[in-house]
A and B are shown apart, each in its own frame.
Chain A
Amino acid sequence: GAVVSQHPSRVICKSGTSVKIECRSLDFQATTMFWYRQFPKQSLMLMATSNEGSKATYEQGVEKDKFLINHASLTLSTLTVTSAHPEDSSFYICSARATGGGRTGELFFGEGSRLTVL
């Protein structure tokens, strides 16, 4: 089964509203999680690196005040798209790197969250 769970898998919202996407590691701890965005027919582009207990590191061109990342525990990181607009419609995917235990170093992807902003 999936070891990284992303929720919701699909979300439709009105322009101007905020949407929260959760990325949860189910059977391992992850001090580092990565958030990617994938526009239709394009590749995955790194948005930010989420570190447990500290501020996220954002890639150039990604607005940190618009894409709020919180990594408050070793198993959960959240991405909040604030004041979403149609151009934010995309597929958002998280990945988590296992730390400790038998899976140290392995990288796992969530199932992705498809955001549609009307």
Chain B
Amino acid sequence: AQKITQTQPGMFVQEKEAVTLDCTYDTSDPSYGLFWYKQPSSGEMIFLIYQGSYDQQNATEGRYSLNFQKARKSANLVISASQLGDSAMYFCAMREGRTGNTPLVFGKGTRLSVIA
């Protein structure tokens, strides 16, 4: 079974608008972390935001916020005030367990295109 599901292969958003990228996850471990990464065409993985399973509040980092709905097992990324430079692949990922020694499992990604 897929541990991370990203149902949107591609998304378009108008510059300066907000966009939500969907991510649902599947785990039976009560301790886990959820990550979002941006991957531009250069290939590097750029860390955007992190949400721990015990965090009470939704994570925010500048224009990025994570809409964490634990009961629904969803961790959607919201990008506000989109910029042309936001065009890239976006990956949702999960790490299970407390220790942090486990690897990240990635979703299939969503390609975001910001249009002027």
Contacts and interface: CB of A to CB of B under 8 A. Distances in A.
A107 interface: yes
Contacts of A46: 103-105
A58 B106 CA distance: 17
Given A43-B91, A44-B106, A93 B101 contact: no
Contacts of B43: 38, 91, 93, 111-112, 114
Interface of B is mostly: loop
Contacts, number: 43
Interface residues of A, number: 19
B45 interface: yes
B65 to A, nearest CB: 21
Contact of B91 (A44, A49, A91, A95): A44
A32 B102 CA distance: 9
Contacts of A114: 43
Given A43-B109, A93-B45, A109-B44, A32 B104 contact: no
A95 B104 contact: yes
Contacts of B103: 34, 46, 49, 95
